[in-house]
Structure 1
Amino acid sequence: MSRFVETLVASARRNSGEGARGLITGEPAEPLFRSWAQVHDNALRMAGGLGEQLRPGAAVAILAADPGLIGPAVQAVWLGGGSVTMLHQPTPRTDLAHWAEDTLKVLKMIGARLVLLGPPFEQLAGVLEDNGIAYRDLAGLAATEAEPLPGPVEVGEDDTALLQLTSGSTADPKAVRITHRNLNANLRAMVTAAELDPERDVAVSWLPLFHDMGMVGCLTVPMAIGMTTVKITPSDFLAGPLVWPQLISKYRATVTAAPNFAYAVVGRRMARADEDFDLSSLRFTLNGAEPIDPAAAQAFTDAGARFGLTPDCMVCAFGMAEATLAVSFAPLRRGLGADVVDAEGLEKRHVAEPVDAEEPRARRFALLGHPLPGLEVDVVDDEGEELADRQVGRLRIRGEAVTPGYLTVDGPQEVQDADGWLDTGDEGYLAEGQVVICGRRKDVIIMGGRNIYPVDIERAACEVPGVRPGNAAAVRLEAGSRRERFAVVLESKQAGSEDAEKALRKEVVSRIVDAVGVRPAEVVVLPPGTLPKTPSGKLRRAATADLVPHR
């Protein structure tokens, strides 16, 4: 068996009987604990119940919300030698016809002939039946009394373990192929960098399991090393964001992770909360998966201070599905680190020159740490020549955790060059060896010979009262032309009121001009819940640009 599967089996053997660690689900209503040994036994039964539908090399898709069903299901697939694909989940706002069209395209692309369907998505069985896709009821499979699989089947290190769907904005789907070797390398690197100790650490997570940070970081890693993890669903979090600190308090959690927007939301809620949380146990609070706003991260730790949260627990990170999950972690026990640089040098000369934080045109970026063990990061120019420290260019990664390629609708696609480097698509630099990301290269706005990063515009817009935090997008217009412009599309409860919108636009323009020295060609105000986003909550800039009126 692969080294990754060996870790799953070893974790199960260590965690049976008194003092066993495992998976806690059902919070906040009906908490249920299952040891990793019980999860493993359930997985063997589920694998046995799948019979000939699960065989080495089989691509199995899963559409379910309950982590208590998903946990043993993914392990069952791995024990049976198959690969797992977590399908993107429709929401109440999703057009089911479009979702079905996209999902069928995904299933064809990955060659899946089986879908494990769990609550609350059973009503989609008809869509699968109409299109000849076999499915199994996941809840029924979990209750099966079938003969268990005798043991893990043999798989190679370079066999596929996970097909992680990307969150791109294009119409055609793409899946990152993660091998057993990739998973083993990255999980061990994360354990080392985060100093995870399964006997001491407890994780709490609400992240979706169709996203790499939720699936790999907050389920697979605890399952593999035998660390207790408390898993709730994203809908539980969205229904009441303070459930997150409540569970951290209840279980004395030491580890958690989320994208920046969640820290911003919970930081504001905690600042005015009357509840008596106890966050003193947290030592590793990972912030990643989207651009990090140092001010929002600082606001979270400040709000948590009265509940015992230590400011040095925040760990900013750089990750991507193409690296399995994690590329770099900021140093532990140092708290939020930021690099303050001169805006003119960054935009015109592509050099990150340190300046005093009080400088009027200073730019502040989160320091994302050094590469994890087994990974390399470098920065190159457009000709592929390596750049020196603090020179801005294209970020590349290389190492054992890096995917060999994608599955696309047009077939497999390799992503590494002859020397093993993968172009991340990000623009950034190294600051004394720490990774700093300025933005996605395809989103950079070029005006008057300056490189202007959307994140700076969006932060300025979100400072305006009335703009929903984290819900502003700066998009390029006439990209690549001699007269490139940009627009800002934002959400506000003031949408629909002509006078309120006019005042809001005026203030947004003023803040943006103060921040970056250029004016948006247009400010579009939309009602809440309108901005196009990926299934994992990231802004879809290409789709957002389509909402800007042509003038």
Structure 2
Amino acid sequence: MDEPTLHAALDRIAARHGDVTVDFPADKVALSLTALSARSRRIAAHLREVGIGDGDRVGVLSTNEPDFLLILFALSRLGACVCPLPMHAKEGADRLVGVLDDAGIKDVVVSSRLAAMMPFIEEALPGRRVLGAAGILAHGGRDQADEVSGADVPATSEIVLQYTSGSTSRPKGVRLTHANVLATLRAIRDGIELTPADKNSSWLPLFHDMGLFGTLTGILTGVPCTIWRPSAFVKDPARWLRQFADGGYTISPMPNFAYDYLVEAVPADEAASYDLSRWRVAFNGAEPIAVDSLETFFGHFAPSGFDPRTMLTVYGLAEATLAVTFPPLGRGPRFDWVDRAALAERGVAVPVERTEPGARGVVAVGRPVLGMDLRIADPHSDGGAALGDRSVGEVQLRGPSVTAGYVDDAGTLDQPFTADGWLRTGDLGYLADGELHITGRSKEMLILRGDNYYPDDVESAVRTDEAVHRRRCVAFVHQESDTDQGRDTEREFMVLVAETDRPGSEHPALSDRLRTRVRRALGLHDLRVVLVAPDTLPRTTSGKLQRLAARNDFADGR
């Protein structure tokens, strides 16, 4: 990773650990680092022949399969940029076209496993060239084909256009250079002391930053990697865990909800049959981390030999390529119990005993990774002094992995920087004992009749109820017009939408129960509870619940 470009780093590690493989169980393919390096050189030559070159952005529509990595490293050698295209059935072609228009992408590569969709994709993308990966990769198998080394590609070249998850706004294209990506990979390697003796496993989508850059960290360190399909985990978490345990894997990245899924999928009396003692780093990131999720997981899998010190509660975002803060390796999660009202109303993290009424547990996500600078600043200021310890403000960053900005050919998109050059994340948090604690998103802060509420406070009061499907619920404030004695007035109230698989006959009692839990936790009386079927709430392609989209659906009667 000390080379200036991704492909140069690949060539170097392939020369040392060429027999190490990246395994794709669904495709029954084990791609060695030697083959990945050599084939990407030949594929690059073919892509150059068909007109793709320096500075071009190419969309790649792919599942977790070898095609993605081969195309990525081939484009890297050309000085071109890959734009991983998320697949989201609910949003369909409209979102895809929006991303392509936004990024100025003329060429889209469709992976082998999605080849049957090519006629539909071509119809949905008029005026663009749709290329089948199968035909491109066939050229990469020619022994005598021309090769492109990419030796003249500078570190400042754009290599990945990574779209944000869109949990609080429309997705934005984050421009990442080779230097940005390699900086975050070095930070991850340093933060977990990764070596070729490890064994990496991931089911996260390669179009998602945590899936992509976690995988690249392993590859460019010479670590054996297994890339599962997301469906392998989501459809049968217990089977995935069995394969993970039996395979002796040591590293795996997952969001918080995945640990809930594992508890739900593995009966308590079967947990001891899983040997999780070799699990060295269990990343937990990409979404808010819940104290009760961690404690439940630890208790459930204690008979499996899972060590809580394995759990690494981390913070990152696409605008910083990925990694921002890691806690100390081998310590285990740390919880900061603070006064919930003081946190929401005054923006101060006042320590309290866990047993006190109104106590909120906030999970520490560690200190800045290698090369990263972090400050907590007034979100309403455009630069200036950092806030003191335990004062809530906006998390702001600078460092070698931080993007130069969003793609914005029209010049209409606000760039995410303060006047003095710090990245504005939009996340709220505070520092305590040198570690970052995330409290929420500035765009999602709820204000009801002058009082501030974090949506997570409302949601955490009910998400552990056994009738809430997979802990899925969202809270937001809704305003509607009300006519009283001939006068139009605006009425606002809190809305809690929760998924449940319980029959309609149980909904009135369940609504009352959830309303009572929120009232006891927050003293909030004006709450409307809406119960919906499982898988109704809108989510991003990475699985995050979209509160603002849910609010819009509610306002529109959906």
TM-score normalised to structure 1 length? 0.92
Cα deviations across residues 41-100 of structure 1 (Å, max 9, x unaligned)?
Answer: 221222222233331111111111142221222111112211111111134xx3xxx522
Q: Secondary structure at the match of 1:464?
A: coil
In structure 2, C-alpha distance between the alignment counterparts of 1:507 and 1:423, rounded to whole Å: 39
> Match for 2:13 among 4, 8, 11?
11
The correspondence of residues 231-380 of structure 1 with structure 2, limited to 5 A, is 231-272=227-268, 274=270, 276-380=273-377
For 2:83, the equivalent position in structure 1 comes to 85
Question: Could you say which residue in structure 1 is the equivalent of 2:177?
Answer: 179
Q: How does 1:18-33 map to 2 (within 5 A)?
A: 20-27=19-26, 31-33=28-30
Residue 47 of structure 1 aligns to a residue whose secondary structure is helix
Distance 1:163 1:135 in 2: 18
Q: CA deviation at 1:211?
A: 0.7
Q: Aligned-pair distance for 1:243?
A: 3.1
Tell me the SS of whatever aligns to 2:531: strand
Shift of 1:415: 2.6
Structure 1 residues not aligned, in runs of 5+: none
User: Amino acid of the residue matched to residue 400 of structure 1?
Assistant: P
DSSP-derived class of the 2:424 partner: strand
In 1: Cα distance, 2:29 partner to 2:195 partner: 23
Residue 469 of structure 1 aligns with which residue? 470
Alignment of 1:401 with 2:401, yes or no, is yes
Please name the residue that 1:489 is paired with: 497
Tell me how far apart the structure 1 counterparts of residues 290 and 389 of structure 2 sit (CA, whole Å).
23
Matched, 1:538 2:539: no
The match for 1:519 is 525
Distance change >3 Å, CA 6–CA 216, structure 1 → 2: same
Question: Structure 2 stretches of 5 or more lacking a match?
Answer: 481-488
Query: Given the two structures, how large is their TM-score scaled by the length of structure 2?
Result: 0.91
Alpha-carbon shift at residue 105 of structure 1 (Å): 2.1
Give the letter for the 1:24 counterpart: D
Letter in structure 1 aligned against 2:394: R
Contact 2:280 2:310 in 1 (8 A): yes
Take 1:280 and 1:432, find their aligned partners in 2: how far apart are those partners?
A: 30
Seen in structure 2, the aligned counterparts of structure 1 residues 6 and 459 have a Cα distance that, compared at 3 Å, is same
Structure 2 counterpart of 1:125, which letter? M
The 3-state SS of whatever aligns with 2:243 is helix
Matched, 1:193 2:186: no
Q: CA RMSD in A?
A: 2.2
User: Are 1:133 and 2:135 an aligned pair?
Assistant: no
Letter in 1 for 2:110: L
Matched ranges for 1:159-170 at <5 A? 159-168=157-166
Q: 1:534 to 1:369 in 2, by over 3 A?
A: same
Q: Is the 8 A contact 2:430 2:436 kept in 1?
A: yes
- Matched-pair contact (CA < 8 Å) for 2:42–2:148: no
Secondary structure of the corresponding residue to residue 143 of structure 1: helix
Say yes or no: does 1:122 pair with 2:115: yes
In 2: Cα distance, 1:231 partner to 1:77 partner: 21
- Per the alignment, residue 484 of structure 2 pairs with none
User: Take 2:289 and 2:170, find their aligned partners in 1: how far apart are those partners?
Assistant: 28
> Partner of 1:423: helix, strand, or coil?
strand
What amino acid sits opposite 2:289 in the alignment? Answer: I
Query: SS in structure 2 opposite 1:430?
Result: strand
CA contact (8 A) 1:207 1:258 kept: yes
- What letter is aligned with 2:186? R
Deviates more, 1:145-154 or 1:281-290: 145-154
- Contact residue 345 and residue 351 of structure 1 kept, 8 A: yes
**Matched residues in 2 for 1:482 and 1:287: separation?**
41
Structure 1 residue 463: Cα displacement: 2.0
Distance 1:520 1:527, change over 3 A: farther
Q: Counterparts of 2:555 and 2:427 in 1: how far apart (Å)?
A: 28
Q: CA deviation at 1:271?
A: 4.2
Q: For residues 7 and 292 of structure 1, what CA distance do their matches in structure 2 show?
A: 33
- Aligned 8 A contact 2:374 2:397 in 1: yes
Whole-Å separation in 1 of the counterparts to 2:556 and 2:419: 43
Q: Are residue 459 (structure 1) and residue 460 (structure 2) matched?
A: yes
Larger deviation: 376-385 or 422-431? 376-385
Say which of 78, 99, 109 aligns to 2:102: 109
Q: Does structure 2 retain, via aligned residues, the 8 Å contact 1:374–1:400?
A: yes
Partner Cα distance (1:50, 1:165) in 2: 24
Quote the Cα distance in structure 2 between the aligned partners of 1:152 and 1:285: 35
Go from structure 1 to structure 2 and tell me whether the alpha carbon gap of 1:338 and 1:138 turns closer, same or farther (over 3 Å shift).
same
Q: CA deviation at 1:484?
A: 4.9
- Greater CA deviation, 41-50 or 117-126? 117-126
Identity %: 33
The aligned residue for residue 207 of structure 1 is 204
Q: 1:397 to 1:233 in 2, by over 3 A?
A: same
Q: Give SS of 2:554's match.
A: coil
User: Any idea what the Cα deviations from partners look like across 1:513-536, whole Å, max 9, x if unmatched?
Assistant: 122221353111111111111111
User: Helix, strand or coil: the match of 2:428?
Assistant: strand
